[in-house]
């Protein structure tokens, strides 16, 4: 099994309808496999989303509620079970290449080896270094009868978009999302981002070619996904659709996961690990909070496996829930709202504060510009979604009920506290 993850790319791929980008290898993977059209991250920041993807548990459960790097230094709680730990206990040889950004550097999580983390700079996470190292691994393991799990994390397409000498790509034009103002500054950033995406696609293509060359492609489950949306205003760091809507592509010809099909149902990345375990015939983990979609992969006529997808934004302390048509966001902390479409010179509405509740009818308002939370005709849908959100937060023992979200160091300090904590904490 092989999993590819990129940074901050959202759904900017040709197979997701963005024709300005050059992603032939990822598009071919989708045409050979199964592409998920409505797949969502549980958090618009890297580490919490990646940790959910690899544990099948929400951030407030696995403990990664901020970055695993400075200044937050979050990490998985000691009793959390990462996919590499589960698979290694079931006979898989597990290695990671590049960015394993769901826990602290030095935490093996279950990998037999974490590669390319001894170099002193971010270069260790670049496509030019990672792709050849992965291909070398495949060459060494092409005749090994034991199964393997390889996790590949590129730094691209994180800011700066010209990382590694990337050049702007506007061969097919410049894609400008509807929530951004088309202006020279945004066009320059998007052209560089497109160049970075092209570079990632080429690296993935070289690894997929090696799988085929070594006759490993038929029986290798390939997974491609992204942690969250692009690092542009109203995307990364927010609970709007561009911050949470990400791709998921699976291909496994020997397992029947193939054919260029589209999985149309709402899915969260919390569902990936329980689904993979079912596909591989392994026992489910009792603490996982995701719901398996494995049966739906075999027959797309299966009913949806969930009615809602949930997300949390820490720091700003906001929570959201989405069904097939509507998105509700609750803001527990004040912040300045964006002025859409976002002009980088004046991105925020002056002297304004976000509302406590935002509700969007995504059928008519896909860019989430028109908050209908207080309109009488949406009263019932607001009540339904709000009730579902509060219920899920209660089930997850969301720390927001006790105040601002504490992070790893808070828990460590409280563990050393010699006196009883005040009631409610």
As a whole number, mean pLDDT of residues 44-68 equals 95
Residue 122's pLDDT is 64
Q: What is the CA radius of gyration of the chain?
A: 21
Question: Would you kindly state where each structural domain of the chain is located, as residue ranges?
Answer: 2-298, 309-415
Query: Is residue 415 very low, low, confident or very high in pLDDT (cuts 50, 70, 90)?
Result: confident
* Average pLDDT over the chain, rounded to an integer: 93
Cβ-Cβ contacts under 8 Å for 149 (sequence gap 6 or more): 1, 2, 3, 83, 84, 87, 88, 92, 93, 94, 95
Q: Which two structure tokens, joined as six digits, stand for 401?
A: 């009920």
Residue carrying the six token digits 């570079």: 199
Q: Which two structure tokens, joined as six digits, stand for 72?
A: 């937050």
Kindly report whether the peptide bond that precedes residue 71 is cis, defined as omega within 30 degrees of 0.
yes
Phi, psi of 383 (to 5 degrees): -60, -45
pLDDT beyond 70 at 203:
yes
Question: What are the residues facing 348 on neighbouring strands?
Answer: 338
Query: Is residue 71 very low, low, confident or very high in pLDDT (cuts 50, 70, 90)?
Result: confident
Cβ-Cβ contacts under 8 Å for 137 (sequence gap 6 or more): 95, 97, 150
User: What length is written for the chain?
Assistant: 425
Contact 217, 211 (CB under 8 A): yes
Please tell me the class of the 2-298 domain. alpha beta
Residue 136's pLDDT is 97
Encode pLDDT of 315-347 as tens digits: 889 999 999 999 999 999 889 999 999 999 999
Which residue has better confidence, 187 or 71?
187
Please tell me the class of the 309-415 domain. alpha beta
3-class secondary structure, 124: helix
Residue 194's pLDDT is 98
């Amino acid at each position: 099994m092989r999993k590819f993850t990129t940074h901050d790319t959202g759904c900017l791929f040709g197979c997701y309808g963005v024709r300005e980008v050059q992603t032939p290898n990822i598009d071919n993977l989708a045409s050979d496999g199964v592409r998920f059209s409505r797949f969502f991250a549980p958090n618009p920041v890297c580490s919490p989303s990646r940790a959910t993807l690899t544990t099948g548990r929400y951030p407030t459960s696995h403990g990664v509620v901020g970055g695993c790097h400075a200044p937050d230094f979050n990490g998985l709680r000691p009793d959390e079970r990462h996919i590499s730990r589960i698979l290694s206990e079931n006979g898989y040889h597990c290695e990671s290449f590049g960015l394993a950004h769901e826990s602290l550097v030095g935490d093996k999580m279950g990998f037999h080896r974490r590669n390319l983390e001894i170099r002193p700079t971010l270069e260790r996470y670049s496509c030019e270094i990672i792709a050849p190292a992965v291909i070398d691994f495949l060459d060494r393991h092409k005749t090994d009868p034991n199964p393997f799990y390889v996790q590949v994390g590129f730094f691209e397409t994180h800011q700066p978009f010209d990382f590694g000498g990337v050049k702007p790509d506007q061969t097919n034009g410049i894609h400008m999302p509807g929530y951004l103002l088309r202006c020279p500054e945004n066009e320059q950033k998007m052209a560089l981002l497109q160049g970075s995406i092209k570079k990632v696609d080429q690296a993935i293509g070289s690894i997929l070619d090696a799988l085929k060359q070594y006759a490993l492609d038929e029986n290798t489950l390939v997974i491609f996904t992204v942690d969250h949306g692009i690092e542009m205003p109203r995307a990364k760091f927010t609970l709007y659709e561009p911050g949470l809507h990400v791709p998921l592509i699976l291909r496994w010809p020997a397992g029947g996961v193939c054919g260029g099909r589209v999985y149309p149902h709402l899915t969260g990345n919390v569902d990936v690990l329980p689904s993979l375990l079912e596909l591989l015939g392994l026992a489910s983990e009792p603490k996982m909070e995701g719901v398996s979609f494995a049966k739906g992969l075999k027959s797309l006529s299966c009913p949806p496996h969930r009615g809602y997808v949930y997300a949390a934004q820490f720091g700003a302390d906001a929570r959201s829930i989405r069904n097939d048509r509507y998105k509700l966001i609750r803001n527990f902390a004040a912040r300045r709202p964006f002025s859409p479409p976002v002009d980088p010179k004046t991105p925020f509405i002056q002297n304004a504060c976000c509302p406590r509740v935002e509700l969007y009818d995504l059928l008519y308002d896909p860019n989430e510009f028109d908050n209908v939370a207080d309109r009488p005709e949406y009263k019932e849908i607001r009540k339904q979604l709000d009730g579902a959100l509060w219920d899920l937060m209660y089930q997850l023992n969301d720390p927001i009920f006790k105040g601002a979200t504490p992070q790893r160091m808070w828990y460590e300090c409280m563990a050393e506290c010699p006196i009883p904590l005040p009631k409610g904490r």
